[in-house]
Amino acid sequence: MPFLSLILIRTALLYLAIGFTLGGLILLNKAVPFQPALWRLLPLHVEFTLVGWIIQFVMGAAYWMLPRLGQYRPRGSDVPVWGTIICLNAGIWLAGIATFVSSPFPLEMAGRMLEFAAIVLFAVHAWPRVRPFGEG
């Protein structure tokens, strides 16, 4: 698999590890309440599993498997995908920590905007690759 897929999928697996750990802790705490503060980790759990794990993994697999654009640079420019990686992960953390820090700056909104930018950049990359296999 190409280097950028490797980065996206490895990062997604790290989020799976943290996201499942947070989910497991919140579930244990639901069964046997031992630390009410654990509920505050719920937005982080959702952000890590939904965006960090699922969406990031799917993008990594798509970058690898979508039809290629020919011999020379088969996957097109990698600049938009680097942009996706940076914006998506910055967005996940900003939106995730927004509930913990009080800031005059709208952190969650900024995080969501970055996540949106990541999706737009990925669509820019993938659009020309969504076509029948073998078309030169």
Partner 1 sequence: MPAISRWFIKAGLVYFLAAMLLAIGLKAQFSFPVLRFLAFFNPVYYHLLTVGWITQIIMGVSHWMFPRFSREKPRGNEALAWLVFVLLNAGLLLRITGEPMLALNPGSIWNTLLILSAILQWLAGALYIRAIWPRLKEKP
x-or-dash string of contact with partner 1, 12-51, rule CB under 8 A: -x--xx--xx-xxx-xx-xxx----------------xx-
Cβ atoms of 8 and 85 closer than 8 Å:
yes
Kindly state whether residue 45 participates in binding ligand HEM, applying the rule CB under 6 A: yes
Cβ atoms of 115 and 51 closer than 8 Å:
yes
Kindly state whether residue 6 participates in binding partner 1, applying the rule CB under 8 A: yes
Residue 45 binds which entry of ligand HEM, partner 1, none, CB below 5-8 Å type-dependent? ligand HEM
CA dist 107 to 19, 45, 56, 134, Å?
A: 20, 17, 21, 44
CA dist 80 to 51, 125, 133, 135, Å?
A: 18, 6, 22, 23
Query: How many C-beta atoms lie closer than 10 Å to residue 135's C-beta?
Result: 9
Sites of contact with ligand HEM (CB under 6 A): 20, 23-24, 26-27, 30, 42, 45-46, 49-50, 53-54
Q: Which residues bind partner 1 (CB under 8 A)?
A: 1-3, 6, 9-10, 13, 16-17, 20-21, 23-25, 27-28, 30-32, 49-50, 53-54, 57-58, 61, 65
